[in-house]
C-alpha cells in the first residue's frame, strides 16, 4: 500500500485488465469514499511523449512516471494510471492515459486508443487534450486522429453528459493565444463535422456535448520558470471545479465516490466488450448494486446490533415496556445510516432499495413484535380473569363486572399496542385485539356457565333436601292425605326455589326466553325429585307393606305388643292389617301430582281384598281380570309407577310372606288356651272331695301324714318348676311327654345332690332329725323360689 496519497496506481494495465484490488486500495488510501459527490475526475490524452505526465506532475503535484529525455522518446505510461491531486479541494482524481500513436502497440493502438478515450469521457469531468502548438492549422497534425477518436467515442455514449475539453497547447510560440485559439476551434469544428453521427445527432452542435477551453503553456525544457508560473496559474482553475460555474461539466452521470471503483470497473468491462455504453443505465446499475450492497451491510449491522439482540431476547419471554419506541429508534438509526451512504445515488434506485431494506428489517423484527403482542394479549387476559374473579367475589353483579373488567382490560391492551407499534410500519393489531376479545368473551361465557351451573346445582340441592326426606316420610305413612300433602309441599318449595333462583339470575344479562327456560327447569327438577322419590319408594313397596302389616298385626291400638290370649279376633286383625298394606300399595301405585281423581284403590280393594269373600264365581273372575293389564284406567303411563299386573304379583308375594305371621299367632292362641285348661273340670273336683273325705279325715287324725305329704308336695312343686311342665305342653302332649322324659332323671338327681350337700353341712341344732327336716325344707323353698323366678322371666319374654 502507498503511504503517500499523491503516488499513482495503475487503474488499467497495458493488456486492458482492470486492477480491482489496486483501485479499491487506492480509494481507501485517498479516503475517496468520504467525499460523496464532492469530487472531480480529470484525465489527460495526447500523443505519446508529449509531456502529459510532466504536465500532470507539475499541475497537480502527482508523481506519475516521466520520460527520460536522455534515453530518447519512448512509451512511458502503459495503460491508465490514477492518482490524487495534492492540495486541491474538493478531492480531485487525475488519470494519466497511455499516449496515442505509439510505435510500441503498432496495429493494436487504434483499438485501445478508442477504448481508453471512451472510458475517459465516461468517467471524467474534465478531459485535458495535450497537443503541440505547431500542429494548429495543419491538415496532417498529430492531434487530428486523437480528436476524431474523442468525438467518435462521444457518439458511442447513449446519453453523454457535457464534458469540459481543455486543449493544452504545449511549447507555445510567439504567436499570441488570441490568434491561435480561433484557428484551433476552427480545426475542432471541422473534425466534429467530419465525424459520422447517429441520425438523432446529425444537427447537434459541439457545444451541446463539450465545454471547450483553450490554454497555452511555454516549453518546459526551454522556459521552465515561465512554464511553472503558467501551470501555477492554471492550477487555480481546478479549485472547486465541481461548484456551480466551475470548470467541471454538468456532472449528470456522476456516481457517488464510494461507488467510483465499481462504476469504473463496470464501464471498462462494457467498453472492452465493445458494447454501447448507456451512461444513464450505467448510473442506475451502479446505484442499484451499490445501494443493495449498502442495504445488505446495514441489514447485517442491524442483526448484530446489541440493542436489537437484547430487545429480541426480552420480547420472547415477557412484554417489553416501550418496545415500539426502542425498536423505532434502532430502525431509524439503521435507515439513517443507509440514507447517509446512499444519498448521492439515483433517487429512484435509492428509494427502492431503502424500501426493500425497510421491508427486510420489518420482516426481521415482526416476529418479536408478534411475541410482544402475544405476551400483551395473554397478560391482559390473565389480568382480566383476576379482576373479574375479584369483582365477583366482592359481590358485584355478573354482567356489570364482566363489562367493566373487559372494557378496562381492552383499554390497557390498546394502550400497550400503541406503545408496541413502531413508526416505520403500519402493522394492524386488530386481529390480536379481536382474538383477545374472543378469549375474554369465551372466559365470560365459561364463567357464566359455571356460575349458572353452580346456582342451578345449589337450588337443586336445596330442592332435593327440602323434598326428598318429607316425601319419603309421607309415602311411608301413606294414607288419603299423602298426595295432597305432597302437592302442597311441592308447590311451596318450588315457588321458594323459583323466587330465589330468579333473584340470583337478575345479575346475569340474558334474554327472557333463556331466563324463563331456566326457571321452568327448576320447577321440572322439583317435580322430578318427587317423582324419583316416589319411584324409589315404589321399589321398596313390598318391604313397606310387610312392615305396615307387622306393625298393625302385632300391636294393639295403643301400640303395645299383642299377647295372643285366645280372646283376639285374628281374622279381623289380619283383614285390617292387609287393608292398611293395600292402602300403601294403592298410594304408591301411581304419581298424583295433578289433582285428578282415580279408582286405583277401589280396583285393588275389589280385586285383592274383596275377592276373598264368598261371592259368585263369575264375579270373582271378572274382578281379578281387571288387574291383568299394564296400565291403569284413566291414568297416563308416565304417571304409572306400579302396573296392575305388578300389583297383583306383589300382593300374592305379600300374602305368602305374611301368612306365616298369621299362622304363628293362631298357634300361640291355641297353646295359650291349652295352658289355661290344665285344671280338672268342676264336677271332677266335687267328686274328688266327696269320695276322698275319709282319707282327708285320716290325715287330720295323724299329723305325720300331713308332714310327709307336705314334703312330697314341696318336692313335686320343685320338680314342676324345674321342668317347666306347662311350657313343655304348649306344643302338644306328645312333644311335652318326650321332652319331660329326657329331663326328669337329671332334674331328680340334681335335687337329691343339693339335699345331700345341705345334709352334710354342720348345724348348731342338737336334734339331728330337726336339722334334716329344716335343711330339706329350706332347700325345697329356695329351689321353688328360683324356679318360679325363671319361669316368670321366661313368660315375660
- Decide which of 668, 703, 730 is a domain's last residue: 730
Q: Tell me: do 184 and 242 sit in the same domain.
A: yes
**Helix ranges, 605-643 (H):** 617-625
Q: What is the DSSP string of 161-172?
A: PPEEEEEEEES-
The answer to the question of whether 49 is labelled as a binding residue is yes
Q: Is residue 764 part of a domain?
A: no
CB atoms within 10 A of CB 84: 26
How many structural domains does the chain have?
A: 3
Q: Is residue 773 part of a domain?
A: no
Q: Tell me: do 303 and 389 sit in the same domain.
A: yes
Q: Is residue 400 part of a domain?
A: yes
Quick: pLDDT tens for 192-220: 888 877 777 777 788 887 888 899 998 88
Distance CA 642, CA 738 (A): 52
| Per-residue model confidence (pLDDT) at position 724 | 74
- Decide which of 278, 311, 326 is a domain's last residue: 278
Q: Tell me: do 210 and 288 sit in the same domain.
A: no
Strand partners of residue 18: 12
Q: Is residue 696 part of a domain?
A: yes
Q: Tell me: do 107 and 205 sit in the same domain.
A: yes
CA angle 380, 384, 385 (to 5 degrees): 120
Given a contact cutoff of 8 angstroms between Cβ atoms, the answer to whether 266 and 277 are in contact is: no
Residues 6+ apart with CB under 8 A from 486: 471, 474, 475, 530, 592, 593
Q: Which domain holds residue 342?
A: 280-427
Distance CA 98, CA 107 (A): 15
Q: Is residue 294 part of a domain?
A: yes
Q: Is residue 511 part of a domain?
A: no
Distance CA 568, CA 586 (A): 28
Q: Is residue 462 part of a domain?
A: no
The answer to the question of whether 51 is labelled as a binding residue is yes
The answer to the question of whether 48 is labelled as a binding residue is yes
CB atoms within 10 A of CB 582: 22
Written as nine digits, the cell of 408 is: 378496562
Distance CA 692, CA 684 (A): 12
Of the candidates 258, 211, 257, 255, the one whose C-alpha atom is nearest the C-alpha of residue 237 is 211
Q: Tell me: do 151 and 183 sit in the same domain.
A: yes
Q: Tell me: do 32 and 135 sit in the same domain.
A: yes
| Per-residue model confidence (pLDDT) at position 272 | 80
Strand partners of residue 129: 45, 167
| Per-residue model confidence (pLDDT) at position 112 | 78
Residues 6+ apart with CB under 8 A from 64: 8, 53, 56, 57, 77, 81, 83, 96
Q: Tell me: do 264 and 341 sit in the same domain.
A: no
CA angle 544, 547, 551 (to 5 degrees): 140
Q: Tell me: do 295 and 363 sit in the same domain.
A: yes
CB atoms within 10 A of CB 604: 22
Q: Tell me: do 195 and 326 sit in the same domain.
A: no
Distance CA 285, CA 293 (A): 12
Specify the pTM: 0.56
The answer to the question of whether 484 is labelled as a binding residue is no
Please state whether 89 falls in left (phi above 0), alpha (psi between -120 and 50) or beta: beta
Q: Tell me: do 339 and 263 sit in the same domain.
A: no
Of the candidates 729, 710, 724, 744, the one whose C-alpha atom is nearest the C-alpha of residue 789 is 724
Q: Is residue 785 part of a domain?
A: no
| Per-residue model confidence (pLDDT) at position 418 | 85
- Decide which of 237, 259, 278 is a domain's last residue: 278
Distance CA 183, CA 186 (A): 5
Of the candidates 374, 376, 332, the one whose C-alpha atom is nearest the C-alpha of residue 354 is 332
Using CA atoms of 287, 290, 293, 295 in order, give the dihedral in degrees to the nearest 10: -50
Written as nine digits, the cell of 501 is: 333462583
Q: Tell me: do 186 and 302 sit in the same domain.
A: no
To the nearest 5 percent, what fractions of the chain are helix, strand and coil? Answer: 65, 5, 25
Phi and psi at 29, nearest 5°, equal -65, -45
Q: Tell me: do 238 and 297 sit in the same domain.
A: no
Q: How far is CA 102 from each of CA 43, 99, 105, 107, rounded to the nearest angstrom? A: 18, 7, 6, 10
Distance CA 335, CA 329 (A): 10
Strand partners of residue 131: 169
Angle of helix 693-701 relative to helix 703-723, nearest 10 degrees, comes to 110
Residues of the chain with pLDDT under 70: 1-7, 67-77, 101-110, 137-143, 154-161, 249, 253, 275-282, 610-625, 674-681, 726, 729-733, 761-797
Distance CA 270, CA 140 (A): 32
Which CATH number is 268's domain given? 3.40.50.300
The answer to the question of whether 53 is labelled as a binding residue is yes
| Per-residue model confidence (pLDDT) at position 761 | 61
Amino acid at each position: 500500500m502507498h503511504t503517500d496519497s499523491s503516488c499513482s496506481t495503475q487503474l488499467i494495465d497495458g493488456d486492458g485488465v482492470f486492477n480491482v484490488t489496486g483501485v479499491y486500495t487506492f480509494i481507501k488510501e485517498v479516503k475517496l469514499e468520504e467525499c460523496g459527490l464532492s469530487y472531480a475526475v480529470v484525465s489527460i490524452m495526447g500523443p505519446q511523449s508529449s509531456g502529459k505526465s510532466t504536465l500532470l506532475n507539475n499541475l497537480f503535484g502527482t508523481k506519475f512516471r516521466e520520460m527520460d529525455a536522455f534515453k530518447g522518446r519512448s512509451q512511458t505510461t502503459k495503460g491508465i494510471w490514477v492518482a490524487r491531486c495534492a492540495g486541491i479541494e474538493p478531492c480531485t482524481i487525475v488519470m494519466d492515459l497511455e499516449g496515442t500513436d505509439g510505435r510500441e502497440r503498432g496495429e493494436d493502438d487504434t483499438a485501445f486508443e478508442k477504448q481508453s478515450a471512451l472510458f475517459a469521457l465516461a468517467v471524467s469531468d474534465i478531459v485535458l487534450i495535450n497537443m503541440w502548438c505547431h500542429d494548429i492549422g495543419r491538415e496532417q497534425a498529430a492531434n487530428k486522429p486523437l480528436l476524431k477518436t474523442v468525438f467518435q467515442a462521444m457518439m458511442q455514449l447513449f446519453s453523454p453528459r457535457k464534458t469540459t475539453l481543455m486543449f493544452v497547447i504545449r511549447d507555445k510560440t510567439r504567436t499570441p493565444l488570441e490568434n491561435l485559439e480561433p484557428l484551433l476551434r476552427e480545426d475542432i469544428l471541422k473534425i466534429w463535422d467530419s465525424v459520422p453521427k447517429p441520425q438523432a445527432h446529425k444537427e447537434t452542435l459541439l457545444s451541446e456535448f463539450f465545454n471547450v477551453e483553450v490554454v497555452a503553456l511555454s516549453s518546459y525544457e526551454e522556459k521552465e520558470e515561465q512554464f511553472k508560473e503558467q501551470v501555477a496559474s492554471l492550477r487555480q482553475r481546478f479549485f472547486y471545479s465541481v461548484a456551480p460555474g466551475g470548470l467541471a461539466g454538468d456532472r449528470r452521470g456522476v456516481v457517488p465516490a464510494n461507488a467510483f471503483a465499481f462504476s469504473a470497473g463496470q464501464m471498462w468491462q462494457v467498453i472492452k466488450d465493445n458494447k454501447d455504453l448507456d451512461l444513464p443505465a450505467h448510473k442506475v446499475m451502479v446505484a442499484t448494486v451499490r445501494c443493495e450492497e449498502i442495504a445488505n451491510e446495514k441489514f447485517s449491522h442491524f442483526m448484530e446490533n446489541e440493542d436489537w439482540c437484547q430487545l429480541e431476547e426480552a420480547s420472547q419471554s415477557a412484554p417489553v415496556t416501550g418496545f415500539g419506541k426502542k425498536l423505532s429508534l434502532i430502525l431509524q438509526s439503521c435507515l439513517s445510516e443507509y440514507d447517509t451512504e446512499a444519498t448521492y445515488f439515483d433517487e429512484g434506485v435509492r428509494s427502492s432499495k431503502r424500501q426493500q431494506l425497510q421491508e427486510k428489517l420489518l420482516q426481521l423484527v415482526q416476529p418479536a413484535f408478534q411475541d410482544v403482542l402475544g405476551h400483551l394479549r395473554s397478560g391482559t387476559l390473565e389480568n382480566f380473569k383476576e379482576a373479574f374473579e375479584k369483582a365477583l367475589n366482592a359481590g358485584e353483579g355478573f354482567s356489570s363486572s364482566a363489562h367493566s373488567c373487559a372494557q378496562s382490560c381492552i383499554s390497557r391492551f390498546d394502550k400497550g399496542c400503541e406503545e408496541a407499534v413502531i413508526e416505520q410500519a403500519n402493522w394492524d393489531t386488530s386481529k390480536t385485539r379481536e382474538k383477545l376479545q374472543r378469549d375474554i368473551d369465551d372466559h365470560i361465557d365459561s364463567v357464566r356457565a359455571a356460575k349458572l351451573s353452580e346456582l342451578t346445582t345449589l337450588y337443586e340441592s336445596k330442592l332435593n333436601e327440602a323434598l326428598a326426606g318429607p316425601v319419603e316420610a309421607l309415602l311411608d305413612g301413606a294414607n288419603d292425605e299423602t298426595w295432597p300433602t305432597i302437592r302442597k309441599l311441592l308447590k311451596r318449595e318450588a315457588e321458594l326455589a323459583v323466587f330465589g333462583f330468579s333473584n340470583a339470575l337478575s345479575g346475569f344479562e340474558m334474554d327472557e326466553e333463556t331466563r324463563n327456560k331456566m326457571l321452568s327447569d327448576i320447577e321440572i327438577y322439583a317435580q322430578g325429585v318427587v317423582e324419583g322419590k316416589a319411584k324409589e319408594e315404589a321399589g321398596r313397596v313390598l318391604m313397606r307393606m310387610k312392615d305396615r302389616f307387622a306393625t298393625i298385626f302385632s300391636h294393639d291400638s295403643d301400640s303395645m305388643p299383642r299377647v295372643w290370649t285366645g280372646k283376639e279376633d285374628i281374622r279381623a286383625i289380619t283383614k285390617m292389617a292387609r287393608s292398611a298394606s293395600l292402602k300403601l300399595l294403592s298410594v304408591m301405585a301411581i304419581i298424583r301430582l295433578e289433582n285428578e281423581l282415580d279408582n286405583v284403590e277401589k280396583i285393588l280393594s275389589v280385586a285383592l281384598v274383596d275377592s276373598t269373600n264368598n261371592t259368585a264365581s263369575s264375579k270373582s273372575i271378572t274382578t281379578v281380570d281387571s288387574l291383568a293389564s299394564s296400565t291403569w284406567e284413566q291414568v297416563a303411563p308416565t304417571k304409572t309407577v306400579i302396573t296392575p299386573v305388578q300389583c297383583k304379583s306383589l300382593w300374592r308375594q305379600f300374602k305368602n310372606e305374611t301368612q306365616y305371621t298369621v299362622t304363628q299367632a293362631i298357634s300361640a292362641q291355641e297353646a295359650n288356651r291349652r295352658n289355661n285348661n290344665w285344671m280338672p273340670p268342676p264336677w271332677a273336683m266335687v267328686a274328688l272331695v266327696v269320695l276322698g273325705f275319709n282319707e282327708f279325715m285320716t290325715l287330720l287324725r295323724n299329723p305325720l301324714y300331713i308332714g310327709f305329704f307336705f314334703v312330697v308336695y314341696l318336692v313335686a312343686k320343685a320338680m314342676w318348676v324345674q321342668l317347666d311342665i306347662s311350657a313343655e305342653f304348649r306344643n302338644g302332649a306328645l312333644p311335652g311327654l318326650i321332652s319331660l322324659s329326657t329331663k326328669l332323671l337329671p332334674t331328680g338327681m340334681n335335687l337329691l345332690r343339693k339335699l345331700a350337700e345341705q345334709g352334710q353341712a354342720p348345724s348348731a341344732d342338737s336334734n339331728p332329725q330337726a336339722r334334716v327336716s329344716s335343711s330339706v325344707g329350706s332347700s325345697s323353698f329356695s329351689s321353688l323360689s328360683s324356679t318360679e323366678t325363671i319361669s316368670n322371666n321366661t313368660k315375660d319374654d
